[in-house]
Structure 1
């Protein structure tokens, strides 16, 4: 191999070595590769967004990675992670899931808490009492919903953008965010009179209820007793409703059966009323003479035996509209009513 060939080969080897080293560093950074470490466990109420391979950090420095995530005790997530062997953990360690970026990547942050500083054994568990789930951006922005409703659409967009910038670490926008909040506070201050009247009226209502709490309590107690009584007598009430239904059915059947006869009686009564109305003059004259006739008949019967009468036979019929409605016949078998003796 001559000198001309050796120089390019050396350059190629150096280039390949540098490329491999840089590729390894890039893979270590992007792929969160790890050569091993001590395994631990931590339990969280929520690990949404956390994936195997995500970082484990202490004070912002990567010291391990997440190995596995599984569900235990039905509603608890258990995260298995590794930490470099030269980074000891104590039993007082605390674990928190934080946002790595706004894309949604997360990592596990470890911090030391108060305690006796005893080392955490391999495979040791960090309980729920010393873990904190990640911040839910949806809940965060839902918390700003009352603020958004009081602002115009343009102000909402600006405020949301500034909140995101603050979360990204751009602290210079905090002043603008505070200005937006102050603007909302001033708006609320301008309406303090209305808010004060609402609170005053609410206090009046609550005061009235407080003054009449005994009556309200008695009303509720009596209502509870009434409902309890209805519940206790529900069987009797059900039977009564059933019997009332039977009675209604029987009444409807009775009316259906007597309706033809009742209709005929009403029509006959109408014809009788018409007949009496047409003969009202005769009836008035008869009724006018009737007292004198009864008086003369009474005098005749009172002063002697000149007038004796008895009833041997009677035959009467009631006719309406050319139809016989009723008939009554009477006949006596007394000797005085025999042939030739009736008077």
Structure 2
């Protein structure tokens, strides 16, 4: 009895066990394949050639394997390559594919680029068209290109020589060798300088691009304004002809200007200190003018009015200026004293003086009321306070030639009768003597003849 028979394994049972093991292996392989490919990103890429690309070849990103090629199908003038990328590897939406040859003789792999950083991703089923794929040049194409170049430069091509002469390429090499002999360092320096110039241009590429854009804008503007440009050129030509015709006068003027500039330079050099001090003084004057610009504006505003009033105040008949000061504060001295006691107005804006003014405010207000009562108590219609005529409270009683009489002045009963404004007061109850036998008094002198000169209205002080 064999060992298998001792274990109870008959041929039939062995066949069943082998079939079960095979099924387990197949199921495990299918499961592993499904798990690996489940969730993978499938991509279809089209290349113009598919040399060295097979099913099972690697799919890489930056040289790292991330998937495999599933199928390679040739079509009319292109090759369709179906591949998948492992689950979890993200691809950019703008996907490119390139065939890469790691060595001269080996299978190729497909490189996907660029590397995903952020933004939208490529979904499963993405198609990469031929304009987004790259295929390396085949070695036979390289050899064919070299052979074609050698034939073009050989004795049957550019280097073809006449009997007894050298070919053109041979002459070129001989002349180049003679010219370059001993100039190795100069060539190296030239190449180094060219490298630096290229680096400078590369570093300034943004500025160069901006300059080119500016030139493009300028040229476009010139093209859009071609008529104006032509007119400008014509006018410039006329100006050039005019300057050419007047070149002698311009030469004389420039010579005189040179002489004048020389004199000015000598003057400045000899009077440098004085000019410097004058400029500094002018700076101070300018600063004062700037600091007092508000007062200057007021002066310029009031000066025409003052000049007009001065002109109207002139009496051509008597040759005098009929003026009087208008000082209203002198008619109320107590009220003026109360106002002067407000120390806060001495320094406006000063917090301490403002506090003093606020503290004294009730007292000063009461002072003003008391002063008003006193002033009103002593002021009567028949009593003229001192300097009343200067405060504007009263006008002159007598008529002055060339002035405005104003209103009727008050009088004291029994002393001076009230007279209408513009007439002189009566000196007595008797009739006034005739002009032939008596001299008129100062207050009763005849009025001056009327003049056509206009008089100012009685505002404040009458003329």
TM-score band, normalised by shorter chain: 0.3 to 0.5
TM-score (norm 1): 0.32
Q: Rg larger in 1 or in 2?
A: 2
Higher RCO (CA < 8 A, seq sep 6+): 1
Higher strand residue share:
1
TM-score (norm 2): 0.25
